[in-house]
Amino acid sequence: MNDMWDWLGTRAAQREAAGLRRRLRTREAGAGPVDLAGNDYLGLCAHPEVRAAAAEAVRIWGAGSTGSRLVTGTTSEHTEFERELADFLGAEAALVFSSGYLANVGLVTALAGPEDLLVSDALNHASVIDAVRLSGARRAVVGHCSPRDVERALAGAEVPYRRAFVLTESVFSVDGDVAPLAELADVCRRYGAALLVDEAHGVGVHGQGGRGGAHAAGLAGAQDVVLTVTLSKSLGTQGGAVVGPREVIDHLIDAARPFIFDTALAPSCAAAARAALRILRREPELAERVGRNAARLHRIAVDAGLPASAPSGAVTSVILGDPDRTVAAAERCLAGGVRVGCFRPPSVPDGRSRLRLTARADLTEADFARVSEVLRAIPKPPNGPDQS
Ligand code: PMP
């Protein structure tokens, strides 16, 4: 059966021809290019205090967590971080998962089943989409950032539902735009629905001192709002968490399969996240600096003649349209010393391939000068991005 996997070769050739083949690129240790592709918004991944906290936790606890949260995997690093994160976000409780992806899957599948309705923003992250699918609940995918569409879905459900949940990101991962959380919460309240907000790109960047979009919208501590958070972006490490009412958190401990059956997050990651949160509390200006730097990157891209979207968070998108042109532009940036994000279908719609410039709090004048130089060297799209 030597031809068993031929179909995979055919698929790969089709993706290659469409400019959609994905390749792993190994990052070298040490000082590399200016990084506008990662999610280390606050520059805390390599911060001395965060490194020291992780190293000390490895010394105390070893390299792993040794078991699931319910068996041997819960250490004081996990429980202290949960307490501190809930306190930071103004919520009753928090629960750490081993990634943000699993936090979304765990939350949604533990709350919703086939009798329930999930109303999900069209541009929600893959982890939210997968969570919705796995739950087996009825789903309505609604227009991006549209409280009116959400209301229509809640009001117009043909079959009565047991409970409804509305799912959105607070700051969307691809375009960096911000959800109208206060309006969404209003609609939810009129229909008795709970609002589930993925704060992966909100915490550390948005709201007072980086407390995220829900906090900024006056929803901190609300009994009908539940947040998911990742530790892998602003907090510079790995892991995820659900943050919200105590009853929800207690239910997840009993019912969330990725919590129960997954080996717990390594204690060193929880310790690193605690250190990162401590720094963010002490230096709340870090969050504002990301916004200022994003505005500056946007100006640099526009001055370079590129079609750049104005950032509302850390992200500026430069939509070049064609995937091959976008990959070539990203390669050119890297050769010039700047690593930028490169997004092609299926991560973005056809004809909307783009470079993504992610601002960080710790960009220097030399970094900005380099970015300006490489962006000026990118060939401009002939008629702006394809509008397919
Ligand atoms: N939600 C959103 C909006 C994200 O962008 C990501 C990460 N790309 C996740 C969830 C998943 O988080 P993690 O990387 O911690 O699994």
Q: Quick check: helix, strand or coil at residue 287?
A: helix
* Start-to-end CA span in the chain (Å): 42
pLDDT classification of 49: cutoffs 50, 70, 90:
very high
Mean pLDDT confidence for 38-59? 97
Is the beta carbon of 230 within 6 A of some atom in ligand 1? yes
Q: What angle do CA 340, 345, 347 make, to 5 degrees?
A: 65
Mean pLDDT confidence for 149-177? 92
* Nearest CA, atom 15, ligand 1: 100
Asked if 277 and 53 count as a contact pair (C-beta separation under 8 A), the reply is no
Q: What angle do CA 358, 217, 288 make, to 5 degrees?
A: 35
- Architecture label for domain 48-282: 3-Layer(aba) Sandwich (3.40)
Of 322, 326, 296, the C-alpha closest to 311 is 296
For residue 383, the model assigns a pLDDT of: 63
* Nearest CA, atom 1, ligand 1: 200
Please say if the pLDDT value at position 310 is more than 50: yes
Q: Which DSSP string do the residues of 188-204 spell out, in sequence order? A: HHHHT-EEEEE-TTTBT
For residue 18, the model assigns a pLDDT of: 85
Prediction ipTM score: 0.99
| CATH 3.90.1150.10 location in the chain | 284-376
For residue 387, the model assigns a pLDDT of: 39
Q: Which helix (H) or strand (E) holds 94?
A: strand 93-97
Round the average pLDDT of the chain to a whole number and report it: 94
Structure tokens at 234: 């602003």
Please say if the pLDDT value at position 388 is more than 70: no
Number of neighbouring beta carbons within 10 Å of residue 61: 18
CA 4–ligand 1 middle distance (angstroms): 34
Q: Residues for the chain: how many in total? A: 388
For residue 384, the model assigns a pLDDT of: 53
For residue 386, the model assigns a pLDDT of: 44
Mean pLDDT confidence for 54-71? 98
Of all residues in the chain, the percent with pLDDT exceeding 90 is 85
215 annotated active-site: no
The CA distance from 339 to 331, in Å, is: 8
- Calculate Rg over the CA atoms of the chain: 21
Determine the topology of domain 284-376 in CATH: Aspartate Aminotransferase, domain 1 (3.90.1150)
pLDDT classification of 64: cutoffs 50, 70, 90:
very high
Asked if 334 and 377 count as a contact pair (C-beta separation under 8 A), the reply is no
Structure tokens at 143: 């227009």
Structure tokens at 148: 């009116």
The CA distance from 238 to 359, in Å, is: 19
Structure tokens at 209: 């001192």
Of 224, 281, 284, the C-alpha closest to 84 is 281
Mean pLDDT confidence for 151-155? 97
Mean pLDDT confidence for 226-239? 98
| CATH 3.40.640.10 location in the chain | 48-282
Q: Which of 201, 206, 215, 298 is catalytic?
A: 201
Q: Which DSSP string do the residues of 251-312 spell out, in sequence order? A: HHHHH-HHHHSSBPPPHHHHHHHHHHHHHHHH-THHHHHHHHHHHHHHHHHHHTT--BPPPS
380 annotated active-site: no
265-278 confidence digits (pLDDT tens): 999 999 999 999 99
